[in-house]
Structure 1
Amino acid sequence: MAIPRSLALLLALSTVLLVTTPVLAEEEVAEAHVDPDDGLTVMEIVQARGYYVEEHKVTTSDNYILTMYRLPKTYKESQQNTSAAANKPAVYLIHGLLDSSFTFVCNFRNQSLAFVLADAGYDVWLGNNRGTTWSNQHVEYTTDDDEYWAFSWQEMALYDMPAMLNYVLDITGHSTLSYVGHSEGTMQAFAGFSVNQDLAKKVSYFGALGPVAYLGHITPVFELMAKTYLDKLFTALGVGAFWETNWLIQGILAKYACAFVDQACGSIINALTGPSDNVNTTRLQVYISQTPAGTSVKNMAHFAQGIRDNTYRYYDYGCSCVRALGLSLCSKLICKNKAVYGAFDPPDWDLGAITYPRMGFYMGSDDWLATGTDISQLRAGLTSATILTDQSVEYNHLDFTWGYNANELIYQDLLAQIAKYVDVGGRIIFLSSNEILIRHMPQQTSATLTAFAVNDLLSFSNLRSPAKDPQPQDQASSMPPRRFRTLMFFLLGVYVALQPILAVQSEVEAAVDPDAGLTTTQVIQARGYAVMTHKVTIADRYVLTMHRLPKSYAESQSGSAAAANKPVACMQHGLLDSFYTWVLNYRNQSLAFILADLGYDVWLGNNRGNTWSTEHLDYTTNDDEFWDFTCEDMGNCDLPAMINYALSVSGRPMLSYIGHSEGTTQAFVGFSNNQELAKVVSYFGAFTPVAGRELRRHRSWSPWPKHTWTRGSRFLV
């Protein structure tokens, strides 16, 4: 039986790798651990993560049948089995060479781009190019027919991409969508958009992860092979499949080699794509169980041509010509380029013709497949394109989808860019978390506190040099009547909150994020954590609300009791804010959740006068007496009451305190006046500490006594 072409090429590549890759010695080899995700299909792993998923079949104009996967619901919608929110903006994701849609779901919920987008309120569509594991059907041919494999990324650009994009728009009813491509997924986009600007206008934003067009300065391993005319080797092997998913890769490499010695597998991958420590190597068996996902020999030859010649052009079929005396004697029988393109050489893709869509480049400084030199050449060709962002991180080529920290380093910026140009019902709108923040911020406080806080912030001379202490009559004459102060700062707060949206463009309409309609406790519960509400009555009869996260995510999900004797962390917000500020992002981004998962008993305070602390034993918020407070009262009354309450309930002798902005100001006040209170705080983390370089002596301006409390902070009085 003849050796399959893909296996022959695999053996050839393996020989090169053995020569170029150092062998890492292991002191001992542990028994292989099989990850529960190992071997799962795309649909199975999406379902295992708790999301609803649909499979769609798309037929291209040249009769290839492609598979797309759709995640129309958030995790919460999937778990509650409710309908997906209406008019969600659509995002299309497309993979790179020898990869598949699996790459966008292969990690955990807060690490995989498809899940991050779904939970951000997007209708997520995962594409699969022809010839991959999930797109291996054709109306007329099977994968056993050579005719099936007669394609390269050129056909993906001309047929696959428009078919899948238009299908998404037809199903969703939108007029535009966002496009995120990785590697080959960007290469086919640049080509497709250059010849089809009508299609390009349907893409509101194009996020290019590891963008690829020119390949002349690729990793030395591939460059060496390409310059030895690897494309000729591919051509000699004939038309067919390259590196299809098979038992050899999945059964031996994934289940045994990588499971036993994940560092060796990682070293081989890094030798091809660039150095990296951003991938969880214990999950390599999962990644390799579905990767490589296959392509055609012709596609590999097309890539090899680009590497060898440093060109970005159509597939070169070659010519057998006699060139003499300025004449080129080629017939169509021996010059397929002439037959296909009407010229002896294939045409270049005209990058200068691309005016749409808006783009963002996300590059890796350690990427050996999409190098800085090649990307610069690509950018130089995009003379008419709008590139909104250039972001470079210490990534290799696979870290953009496999990296465990990609959400933090790449995806959040990507989401912010996508959010600016989203289509719902044919309109370009601005979508972001701003509508969530507007719901919770700014939180109210007293006009007196706000007036003096803003006054100090705006009067920079007060922070530059000592000045004469203001007299009470000076303040009285400078303060407007209360009714005007309240209106003034209400309008100021509205303006500040709306500024990010107003600055984008006129006539924008905010789309609804799934978190936007939730209270703060509902946000915590939606993240999967147990939360408790406590009421604390303080010495001057204000009733404050505290929220407690006593359990980790695992404890909350399992329904088990919280571990005993957890250390306590108390957190306090800033001016015009609330405890919402500690939980507004995702699990791995919000400090309250991070601390809870680290084993802390987390207490979130709310100062008097904000949304969650509006009660008093004698007054209501309609009474002026309720609002007669400043930061001094928060430091001398609110702070000790909440700290002592948390210690009393938890039974712990000490706690850690974390404050942000005003939360540090009241701490400096409280600890300077109450050293007994300070002694029960084992550590004080001050986020953007606020005190001012000059602390005035009048009560309304400066409640601090002449006292220096904490190392590293200096009080000038």
Structure 2
Amino acid sequence: MTLRVMLIVIAVNSVVSNALFIPRSLPEDALLNFTGLSEKYGHKAEEYSVVTEDGYILTLFHIPGTRKPPVLLLHGIHDTADTFILRGKKSLAITLANNGYDVWAGNTRGNKYGRRHIKLNPDTDPAFWNYSFHEHGVHDLAAITDFILNATGEQSLQSIGHSEGTTDHFVLASQKPEYNNKFKLFIALAPVAFLSNLISPVSAVTELGPLLNQVLLSLKIEELISEKGIEKNILQLICNKEDIGYELCFKGVILQGAGYDPKGIEPKFFPTILGHYPAAGSRKSLLHYDQVALSKRFALFDYGPEENKKRYGFIVPPDYNLRQVIMKTALIVGKNDNLSRVRDVEYLRFLLPNIVEYHLMRQKRWNHLDFVWGNDLPETLFPQILSLLEKYR
């Protein structure tokens, strides 16, 4: 049974057997976009369109500030720029803006803010979804960085990435080393390059990855969790039920993958998350991460021996050369992060040549999502970030 069919069956059964349990209305913050949230919490945000060299049109948000250099925020997988502002006054975007920083929040191709192309239609052209984190790095992050520097007249910027947002930086700086000079500092929250030490249930999912990919291919599914798709609607229907949504979807599913820390994200905040996450993405993106996990190598996409030979000159894809990532980098890690495992980040730390800070969050249960959605960010994480930004201006 496919994931799509399973979701439909679950939803029908849920509606029939729980007809009285009507999903609650989403709170205002779940419905506002980035600019709406920014204005609500005291800052007027600007919106720009960035065109990549391969024709994708990405939305870039800007909260003007007086402190230079500019600071770029880049989200993780199946996420958007909204992730950095969902906590309102306790969010990273608003905290930086309140401290006078010139804040730019980027989006990579595929999510609701990156679903445009100069030629391709995401609804009818499968080629639109032919990308992974590789293209997010070499095309999207490169275009966003150049746009910000051109707009501000600065020679370099500071950047903060979360999860896949860190992968994108490592890809860009290794594939296009000239971009190292365009970053004064890169702060990597929950860094992801190697996935060699995953534990259950994430490790079990990666083992099933090739099979799930074949199922998606057979069904000709390239876009996952579309904003207007049935999967997203069903997730909203089930997970926004006041009586079971938090327990079933958040504690029962999401935290099993991210690391169990129910105190970091309280039940009343979960509906706000549901309004923005998960966002759409490509089948190929998940497959590329699955390849990284199964091969235990941070390498380019594996197309198979014959195609690899044509593209790379070798029957196996080459590793990303992390020795070329010479920009100043700070790694911030959670002890309870099931995706950015401490041992994997320590190996990454060994390979990167210019680590200026390695910080292990002292909270024992700090997980993958606490970096962006935790309810105690102003006391736990933000002092570290603000100190680094000030030190490496």
What do the CA deviations read for 1:524-567 (whole angstroms, capped 9, x no partner)?
Answer: xxxxxxxxxxxxxxxxxxxxxxxxxxxxxxxxxxxxxxxxxxxx
Question: Is 1:343 paired with 2:314?
Answer: yes
Report which of the two has the higher share of helix: 2
Is this contact kept in 2: 1:244–1:292, CA < 8 A?
Answer: no
Q: Are residues 30 and 142 of structure 1, via their aligned partners in 2, closer, same or farther at CA, if it must alter by over 3 Å? A: closer
Cα distance, 1:195 vs. partner? 2.4
Residue 181 (1) aligns with residue 161 (2): yes
Say whether residues 1:171 and 2:151 are aligned partners: yes
- Which amino acid is the alignment partner of residue 198 of structure 2? I
Alignment match of 1:270 (pick from 244, 247, 255)? 255
Aligned to 2:275: 289
Normalised to the residue count of structure 2, the TM-score between the two structures is 0.89
User: Does 2:250 align with 1:279?
Assistant: no
Coordinate RMSD, CA, aligned: 2.5
The alpha-carbon distance between structure 1 residues 256 and 300, as it changes in their structure 2 partners (threshold 3 A), is closer
Q: Contact 1:219–1:272 at 8 Å: present in 2 too?
A: no
Of residues 76, 99, 103, the one that matches 1:124 is 103
The aligned residue for residue 307 of structure 1 is 293
| 1:287-338 deviation line (CA, Å, top 9, x unaligned) | 111111111111111011111111100000013xxxxxxxxxxxxxxx1111
Given residue 123 of structure 1, which amino acid in structure 2 is its aligned partner?
D
User: Which ranges of structure 1 fall in alignment gaps of 5 or more residues?
Assistant: 1-6, 16-27, 74-84, 320-334, 423-717
Distance change (3 Å), C-alpha of 1:386 and 1:317 = same
Q: 1:295 to 1:33 in 2, by over 3 A?
A: closer
Q: What residue number does 1:42 align with? A: 34
Return closer, same or farther for 1:13/1:214 CA change in 2, 3 Å cut-off. Answer: farther
How far did 1:238 drift? 4.6
State the identity %: 29
The DSSP-based 3-state class of the residue aligned with 1:292 is coil
Distance change >3 Å, CA 112–CA 418, structure 1 → 2: same
Give 1:247 deviation, angstroms.
5.8
Q: Does 1:151 align with 2:131?
A: yes
Question: Are the aligned partners of 2:75 and 2:107 in contact in 1 as well (CA < 8 Å)?
Answer: yes
Deviation of 1:216 after TM superposition, in Å, equals 2.1
Taking structure 1 as the reference length, what is the TM-score of the superposition? 0.50
1:257 aligned partner, one-letter code: C
Consecutive unaligned residues of structure 2, counting only runs of 5 or more, are 10-19
Matched residue pairs, number?
375
Structure 1 residues 297 and 184, CA gap change in structure 2 (3 angstroms) = same
Amino acid at match of 1:40: L
Give the partner amino acid of 1:114.
Answer: A
The yes-or-no answer on 1:381 pairing with 2:363 is no
- Counterpart of 2:203 in structure 1 is 223
Q: Quick one: which amino acid aligns to residue 48 of structure 1?
A: K
Match of 1:65 in 2: 57
* Alignment-mate amino acid for residue 48 of structure 2: H
Correspondence for 2:360: 391
Write out the 4+ residue segments of structure 1 that deviate beyond 3 Å after TM superposition.
Answer: 7-15, 28-34, 230-239, 247-257
SS of residue paired to 1:106: coil
Distance 1:295 1:213 in 2: 19
For 1:56, the aligned partner's letter is: Y
Aligned to 1:406: 377
Offset, 1:12: 6.2
Deviation at 1:370, TM superposition (A): 0.6
Query: For the structure 1 residues 172 and 148, does the alpha-carbon distance in structure 2 shift closer, same or farther, using more than 3 Å as the test?
Result: same
CA distance in 2, matches of 1:31, 1:245: 18
Tell me, in whole angstroms, the C-alpha distance in 1 between the residues paired with 2:281 and 2:139: 16
Could you tell me which amino acid in structure 1 is paired with residue 56 of structure 2?
A: Y
Separation in structure 1 between the aligned mates of residue 27 and residue 237 of structure 2, nearest angstrom = 9
| Matching residue of 2:181 | 201
Paired letter, 1:146: P
1:360 maps to which of 320, 323, 330: 330
**CA 1:13–1:252 in 2, change beyond 3 Å: closer, same or farther?**
closer
1:385, distance to aligned residue in structure 2 (A): 2.0
* 1:264-301: CA deviation from partner (whole Å, max 9, x where unpaired): 22212111211012112212111111111111111111
Deviation at 1:59, TM superposition (A): 0.6
The CA distance in 1 between the partners of 2:319 and 2:241, in whole Å, is 44
Equivalents in 2 of 1:250, 1:40: separation in Å? 17
1:135 to 110, 114, 119: 114
| More RCO (CA 8 Å, sep 6+) | 2
- Is the 1:238–1:297 contact (alpha carbons within 8 Å) kept by the matching residues of 2? no
CA shift digits 1:652-674 (9 cap, x unpaired): xxxxxxxxxxxxxxxxxxxxxxx
2:359 is paired with a residue whose SS is strand
Q: Residue type matched to 1:223 in 2? A: S
- What CA distance in whole angstroms lies between the structure 1 residues aligned with 2:8 and 2:333? 28
Structure label with greater radius of gyration: 1
Whichever residue aligns with residue 162 of structure 1, its letter is A
Change (3 A) 1:173 1:42: same
> Residues of 1 paired with 2:184 and 2:391: CA distance?
9
